[in-house]
A and B are shown apart, each in its own frame.
Chain A
Amino acid sequence: MRFRLCCYFIKQALINVISNRVVHVICLGTMVISMLMLAAFLLLFVNLNSWLQECGHSLSISVYLQDGISKNTTNRIASAIKDLPAVEIKSFVSKDSALKDLKRFLGAQAGLIEGLSNNPLPASFELVFRDVEGQHSDLQEIKGDLEKIEGVDEVQYSKERLKQFEGLSSIVRTFGLVVGGLLCTGVLFIVTNTIKLTIYSRRHEIEILKLVGATDWFVKIPFLLEGAIQGVSSGALALLILFFAYSLLCAEKLHFFTIAVLEFTFLPQEYIFMIFFLSVALGLLGSFIATGRFISISRFFDL
């Protein structure tokens, strides 16, 4: 496309925006609020997901070993566990350590186990999940794999906690998709109607342009650019507002009785780009739908 035409289209798009500034400001405001809500929700989702992952890492699987196995067998079990992709060894608890831990846990009642001639507690490996995503579906398989290792007596894990985390993560994801979808539909509707209003206000000019031989694309491109301008401005503004709000309201870590509990981070770069391009895409799509309507009108009048 020739440079002069590009300049013409950009100039026309800016003239459209300026001459219909009230409508555009209202549309921009609505788009910014919608994109801000979407971005804020995404920010919450990203942090919640990372907290869930951290919690997922704190979930453990206990692999109890048979009594009387040699050190070689213990090493073989350790290397067999290391070969499993879903879990990693957090610690090894020997029989003596297990007994010490129990005594510490019982405190004043530790005397109850003083008289035992043999240590009844098994040695164990404490395992954690490498990634919380999709762990539940593989859990039985992981347990089965661990139990197959020679020298392993029993495998235990906290099923309920895991289910709770997975359920919460799934609710957040579904809620995010529904809210995000509704917000995007709303934005699309607003942009489409704004561009339709602009087209309506310029209908005489469009008619004359068509009469002097303008192609459909010549008429449509400034409106598409107008939608893109809306998308770029609202995406950038929404992200800026979110960043300022984040900087003002959120400390790096959420504190609970002066103890830093959870880290609250800003959106990762890929999500920032995603929000921005989504905003531009919605602006373009909205104006594309609106100009499509124009084409059907101009066909009706044989222009």
Chain B
Amino acid sequence: MIQLFHVFRNFGSNVALSDMDLIVGRGEFVFVTGPSGAGKTTLLRLIFGTEKPTSGHILINGINLNRISRSKLDLLRRGIGFVFQDFKLLPRKTISENVALALEVTGMRRSFIRKKTHQSLRLVGLAEKENAFPLSLSGGEQQRVAIARAIVNDPMILLADEPTGNLDSSLTKDIMVLFRSINLKGATVVVATHSQELLRETGQRTISLNKGRIVGEK
């Protein structure tokens, strides 16, 4: 599902990723871990296509991101859910409208969007707050809205950048159960985290990064 071949990503003289080779199979659940600046976020952004590699090739579902047109990349992104570290929620829209945004772009029917949005918010435990605005919610609740938006269109790949960073241990467990259920439905899930507690509790494949290189895998 996700293939990286000799991928380098430099920001000026800083090397964010160096000679990265990685294959993530369809339906796999993978953790990417490492200290701050290890390249976790860069790796996820490269897979999502919001950054281009300095060299090397990235294939998503067999499609080479170097050779894809902008419009095709837009369509490809509809099949990838991304949970951003900074949530990326619009403060002037209700949480329901924020979640619905991912479906609005596909041109789905209003009734379908409403139903899916409600389902998604219910999955993250925020159905009763669907008319609230993001700034009236706690950090953890905003994180869950971001997750609801990422999963609302049943993505084939779910990328999550520190998705439990703002959650307590109980909510962290709930979110991981949610990710696992999405994974069991067939989605490939890649979670970037530096939470050792989270990694200890899971028996999933874990890729360790340091200074832009893979330094371990279990």
Contact = CB atoms under 8 A, between A and B. Distances in A.
A200 to B, nearest CB: 15
A214 interface: yes
Given A8-B104, A302-B51, A302-B52, A204 B74 contact: no
Contacts of A299: 70
A207 B82 CA distance: 13
Interface in B138-170: 149
A218 B71 contact: no
Interface string B81-104: 010100010101000000001101
Nearest to A298: B70
Nearest to A215: B74
A213 B75 contact: yes
A213 B104 contact: no
Interface stretch (B55-63, B106-114, B174-182, B206-214): B106-114
Interface string A266-303: 00000000000000000000000000000000010111
B101 A212 contact: yes
Nearest to B101: A212
Contact of B110 (A4, A214, A218): A4
B50 interface: yes
Given A4-B107, A302-B50, A302-B51, A211 B82 contact: yes
Contacts of B82: 211
A6 to B, nearest CB: 10
Interface residues of B, number: 27
A4 B102 CA distance: 15
B72 to A, nearest CB: 10
Nearest to A5: B107
A211 B44 CA distance: 13
Contacts of A216: 70-71, 74
A214 B105 CA distance: 5
B50 A211 contact: yes
A20 B149 CA distance: 27
Contacts, number: 56
B49 interface: yes
A213 B102 contact: yes
Contacts of B75: 213, 215
Contacts of B105: 209, 212-215, 218
A4 B106 CA distance: 11
Given A213-B78, A213-B102, A204 B107 contact: no
Contacts of A4: 107, 109-110
Interface in B104-128: 104-107, 109-110
A209 B101 contact: yes
Interface string A198-230: 000000110111111111101000000000000
Given A218-B105, A302-B50, A303-B50, A208 B88 contact: yes
B200 to A, nearest CB: 32
Nearest to B80: A213
Chain B CB within 10 Å, residue with most, of A215, A216, A299: A215
Given A4-B107, A204-B90, A302-B50, A212 B102 contact: yes
Chain B CB within 10 Å, residue with most, of A4, A207, A208, A218: A208
A213 B74 contact: yes
B95 to A, nearest CB: 13
A94 B110 CA distance: 86
A213 B52 contact: no
A210 B74 contact: yes
A215 B71 CA distance: 6
A301 B49 CA distance: 11
A303 B77 CA distance: 10
A216 B77 CA distance: 13
Contacts of B104: 8
Contact of B107 (A2, A208, A301, A303): A2
14 contacts: A4-B107, A204-B90, A207-B88, A208-B88, A210-B74, A211-B48, A211-B50, A211-B88, A213-B77, A213-B78, A215-B71, A215-B75, A215-B105, A218-B105
Interface of A: 2, 4-5, 8, 19, 204-205, 207-216, 218, 299, 301-303
7 nearest A-B pairs in the assembled complex, by CB-CB distance: A213-B78, A213-B77, A214-B105, A212-B102, A215-B74, A5-B107, A213-B74
Given A8-B107, A213-B79, 15 more contacts: A5-B107, A19-B92, A204-B88, A207-B88, A208-B90, A211-B88, A212-B77, A212-B78, A213-B76, A214-B74, A215-B71, A216-B71, A299-B70, A302-B50, A302-B52
